[in-house]
Structure 1
Amino acid sequence: MGYYAFANLPDTDLSAIKELETRIGKPLVALKPVELEAAPVDDGTLSAIRDLESKLGVALVAVAS
């Protein structure tokens, strides 16, 4: 499974994205791949993670340290 984070871009790249957004009439989100290894979790931990995901409306990933 691939993981992505918001890309931190220089102003010139942001300007190019904004220009394309205007041209196509759609917002764009810049993402970059991130090297992560998901941590193994037991059923109880997985249940707690899923409960919090549901409550917050986000996706959470336990990461191996």
Structure 2
Amino acid sequence: MFNNNQESTAPVAAGETYEVTIQDIAKEGDGIARIEGFVIFVPQTEVGETVNIKITKVLRKFAFAEKEE
């Protein structure tokens, strides 16, 4: 059965911090990291960079984060 409430299946939550490695660059130029396969867009990053991020917004299929200084 398909579960409409996908929010609870995201392995990340807004406000949490993680160390990630940027794996790809999105069309818009944001870095793409993955946690348990879940896509996280991180602006101002480059492929291969390992950064600490803070999740700012979690959607059904992906999340947004900002790089922590």
Specify which structure has the higher proportion of strand: 2
TM-score band w.r.t. shorter chain? under 0.3
Bigger relative contact order, structure 1 or 2 (CA pairs below 8 A, ≥6 apart): 1
- Structure 1 length normalisation: TM-score? 0.26
Specify which structure has the higher proportion of helix: 1
Of structures 1 and 2, the larger Rg is shown by: 1
